[in-house]
Amino acid sequence: MLTFQTLSALEDHTAKMRARIERHMKNGVLFCDLSAQIAEDVVIGSGTVILPGVILQGGTVIGAHCTIGPHTVIRDSRIADNATIKQSQISDSTIGNGTAIGPFAHIRNHCEIGANCRIGNFVELKNSKIKDGSKMAHLSYIGDTEMGQDVNIGCGTITVNYDGVRKHRTYIGDRAFVGCNANLIAPVSIGKDALIAAGSTVVESVPDGALAIARSRQTTKKERASAIFEKKGKR
């Protein structure tokens, strides 16, 4: 039940948010509406666009000419100039110049992401350092990892960092290419210019320039599928 005290507190909060938004707008920040929640100590650079549903918390610093949102939460993080953050959550991390995040990415626990990186939809990063130009477009978990420049991470890749007792790190060298649905079992190192075949589970380090294939050989038994379906009464 709404009380006078509740309505009064809401009115006070709304007034504070409006005043903060107006202060940032005077400094050249564009707000698409008044739904943003901006903490007192947040800094936003000129030319940045704040879309609806954005929450900026703690000591967050947003650079110039960024696009933030919609529906993005950033806490105690630094976002460099020209970055784009779409429908994602970022905490205690740094994002480099021109990097694109999201939609629906989760970056946490002191990640450092370089310039012109691409962290796509449903990617989670935890306690990792990603250098300039590296890309992971979708559906990956990268935890406790140090990644070089211009690395490509395929869809569904996981750095398996936890053995049930301790966390372990994964190292991926410059320009490595990791195929889709690969599991990198830490501790493990992937060398520069290395190629990891799709569907591989890598348990040993891969040297520079090497191709690693870690999957069982396919066996195809002709007409067996029809026999199985018939036995189950499906056909």
Residues known to be catalytic: 138
Token reading at 11: 């009115």
Q: Kindly report each contact of residues 136-145 with a partner whose C-beta sits within 8 Å and lies 24 or more positions away, as own/partner.
A: 142/170, 143/167, 144/168, 144/169, 144/170, 144/186, 145/169, 145/170, 145/171, 145/172
Q: Are 117 and 102 in contact (CB under 8 A)?
A: no
Alpha-carbon span 109 to 141, nearest angstrom: 13
Alpha-carbon span 132 to 148, nearest angstrom: 8
Give the H/E segment covering residue 178: strand 177-178
Q: Which residues share a beta bridge with 155?
A: none
Residues 6+ apart with CB under 8 A from 28: 45, 46, 47
Exposure pattern of 15-26 as b/e (b: 16+ CB <10 Å)? eeeeebbeebee
